[in-house]
Structure 1
Amino acid sequence: MILQKYTWKDLSDERKEALLDRSETDIRNAMEKVAPIIEDVRTRGDAALKEYTLKFDGADLAGMPVRVSDAEFDRAEASLDGKVKEALEYAIENVRRFHMSQKPKGIEMVEIRPGILAGEASRPIESAGLYVPRGRGSFPSMLYMLAVPAVIAGVEHIAIVTPPGPDGTVDPACLYAARLCGVSNVYRGGGAQAIAALAYGTESIPPCQKVVGPGSMYVTAAKRLLAQIIDPGLPAGPSESIVVADETADPELVCADLFIEAEHGSDSSALLITDSSRLADEVSAYAEEYLLRIPEERRGYIRDVFSGYGGIILVDDMQQAIEVVNLFAPEHLQLQTASPLDLVAKIRNAGEILLGSKVPFSVANYAVGANAVLPTGGKAKTWSAVSVRDFIHYSSVVQVGDGAYKELAEHTTALADYEGFFTHAEALRIRQKRSNG
C-alpha cells in the first residue's frame, strides 16, 4: 500500500513529532556538508563555483561565462513553443496584477496627536539574489514569482542564479520569463555554491543584500549558515502540502491533488487529513492505480514521500483536522470540504489556503497570481508568502509642531529621568531653558 494511514489520537508523541518535523532533521544534517563548500566559494570565487557545478550538476562550464549572454536570451526565446510563451505571458501578468496592490504609495503620515505626525518612508533594498532551482525539473514559475515582486518594489540590482543543464545552458523558459519580468542578470549555478556566490560575490556575480527562493535541503542549509552575511529571506525548503477533506470530497480529485507536491522530490511531504474512513480507503485505492500512470522518475519521488513524510491522517472531526493543520503550519493547504469558508477563520498557520476542488495546488503554483513561494518547515507560523514587501525596507518619519512640543517634552523628560538616562532628559531641558529666554 503506497499511502500509509495514521489515526491521530493513536499516534505516539514521537511519531507525531516525526510527521510534524518532516525534512527539518535532514536540513540540519546538511549544514555540515555545505559549510566547506561555502568557504571554498568565498575564497576561490568563480573557479569553485564552476567546479561544484561540474560535480553536482554534471555541467562543464570551462570556457563558458558564468553570466548568461544576451544572445542566449535571444536563442531561448526563439526556441520556445508559442503555447509556452503565451502561458508565461498570461501567468506573469496575473502575478503582476496581484502584486501591484502591495507597492507602497509614498510616505503616509498619521496624526498621533495635534501637531505630532509619524509615518513611514519606503525604499527598495539595493540588491537581491533570486534562487531558481532546476535539479528535479525546470521552474520558470519560481523565477517570475520572485522576479515580479522584486521589480515592482524597484530593486536596483537583481541577480538570478539557476543550475545549468548538462550542456551548460540555462532553461529557455526561465530566460524568457526573466526577459518578460525585465531582469537581464542571470547566472549559471545552483545549490549551496550559488547561495555562497550571491552572499560573498565572485568575479562574475556581485554580492547581494538578500537572497530569496526555494531549494533543496542543501540550499536551505546554506542560507541558514550565511544568515549573518545576507538576509536569507523566508525559509523556503523542500515542498510540503496538506489536503483537508471530508466525506463530500471526490476521492479521485483528492488523490490527484495529494500527489502534486509529492512529485517535487523525495524530501517533500504530502498529507491528507480526513474524518472520513471511507474517503481514506477510496483515496488509497486510487493511489495504487494512479501511481502506475506517473513517469518513473516522478513515481520514485512519490514513493519516497509516502514512505517517509506523507500519508493519510484520520481525525475525529474537522475541529481536530484544523488543530493538526495549525500544528503543522503547512506551506500549501487545500480545503476540499462541504463549506471550506467556514474553516478559514480557524486556520492560524498556513502559507496558502486554497478553497475547494477547483483550486488544485498546480494552478496556485503557476498562474492564479498570488505568490507561490511560501514558508516551509513550520515557519508559516510567523512567515508569509513572498511579496513586494520582501524587497522593501521602511524608515520611520516623525515631525513635531511647536504647539505639541511642550507636552511631549514634559512626558519624555519624566520617563527619561525614571529610566536614568541623563542626556535624554538634558537635551530637552536645554531646549526648555532656551525657550524660557
Structure 2
Amino acid sequence: MSEIEQNPALSGQSNDPSFENVWQELKWRGLVHVSTDEAELEKVLSEQSITYYCGFDPTAPSLHLGNLVQLLNMRRLQLAGHKPLGLVGGSTGLIGDPRQTAERILNTKETVAEWVGKLQAQVSRFLSFEGENAARMVNNLDWTANLSAIDFLREVGKYFRVGTMIKKETVAARLNSDEGISYTEFSYQVLQGYDYLQLHKLYGCTLQTGGSDQWGNLTSGTDLIRKVEGKSAYAYGTPLITNSDGTKFGKSEGNAIWLDAEMCSPYTFYQFWLNTADADVAARLKIFTFLSREEIEKLEQETADRPFARKGQKELAYLVTSLVHGVDATEKVIAASAALFGQGELSDLDEATLRAATEELHSTKVDGLDLDIVSVLVASGLSKSKSEARRTVGEGGAYINNVKYSDLDAVVSRDDLLHGRYLLVRRGKKNLAVVEVA
C-alpha cells in the first residue's frame, strides 16, 4: 500500500462540483498570484492531461511550511489528472537561489547529496507514483553534471540577455544593496530555465509552479523554451502567505516550522496550527487542506459564530498534522495535550511525544530519588517555599503525573517516574512543570 493510500488526509477530491475546473478551484483557494497567459492555461488544464513540475533545492535537511504550499499544490493538480515531476535540485542546491538579503553559504557536495535524499523522501510522500498520471522524481544533477562551462555558455547562456536578467525582482534588490550579488547566484535563473527546457525535452513538461518570489526564475524557463523549441510553456506563482496581522507566516518563536519530525516535533507542529488566529482560519483551510468549499465555508461560519470553541483551528491542526506526520502521530499529539491536564494517561505517551509536549514547560533536574511531595513542588518551581507547598497539598492542589497527593509525608519513588526519568508536576488546574531525576 502506498503512502498516499495509507494517509486519507492526502486523498483529496478530484472534482469538487462547486468548481468548473481545477484552475477555478486553485484561484478560489488563493493559490494563484501571477501566471503566464491565464486564459490559455485554464483551457489547457481543463482539456488535457499535462506534465508539470515544481523544484525544491536542498539548502537545508528538510522542507518547511513554504514548501508545503507547493507540495499540496502539486497534489491538487495530480488529483485533477495531471502528471507531476518532483524535482530536487542536486545541482541548483550547490548554488542556491538568490535571497533578498544576503549571499547564501555554499554547502559541500557531500552535504547537498545527503539532503537531496532527504528531500526526495519528503516530496514523495505527497504524490502518487501509480496510475496513468503517476509522479516521477527527477534530479537536475543528471543533466548538468557532465555539462562543461563552455557548452553551457554556448548552448544556454546565449539565449539570456543581461538587461532582462538584472530586472528580475530579487536580482535587482540585491544589486541595489550593500551586499551586492555574486556571479554564482546571478546565474541561478539560467540554471532553472535550463531545468525547464530539459524537462520539456525529456518528458513533455509544459507547466512549472512555484512561489511568486520565484517568478523571475519561472519565466526564464518559459522564455528559454520559446526561444529554443519555438513552443509555448506555462508557469504560475502562488502568493507569499502572511498572517492577517501582517507578520510572517510559517515561523514559531522566530524559528521555521520544518516538515521533518526531528527538526520540529509533531506536537509543536500541531500547536502551531492550533494557535492560528480566527481571521486566518478560512484562508489556511483553503490552502493546506483538501476539504471542499462547502466544508470550509461551514467551518468558517462556525468559527465566526462560536470562536471560543476553536472548531476551525482544531480541524485545521488535525488535518495538516495528519498530512505531514500521519494520523497515528496526530492522535498521539492530541492524547498528549489532553494528558497534560489530567484528561488522559501520561504513561501511554512514548518518550518522544512526552518530551515534545513538555519542552516549553519549566524544567528542573534533581539528583536522587525518594523525594517527598513538598520537596518536589519546591524543586519544580511551582512553590516558592516549603510552607507554600504544604498549603498547596493541604488544599488538594498538588499533582504528580496527574495523581493527586494529599498526604504531606508522601514520597515519590522511582516507580513513579515516566520513562524512568520524568515527573510532571501540576499545581492546581493549569500550572505545570517538569522535574527530571538523574
TM-score if structure 2 supplies the norm length? 0.22
Greater relative contact order (Cα 8 A, min sep 6): structure 1 or 2? 1
TM-score if structure 1 supplies the norm length? 0.22
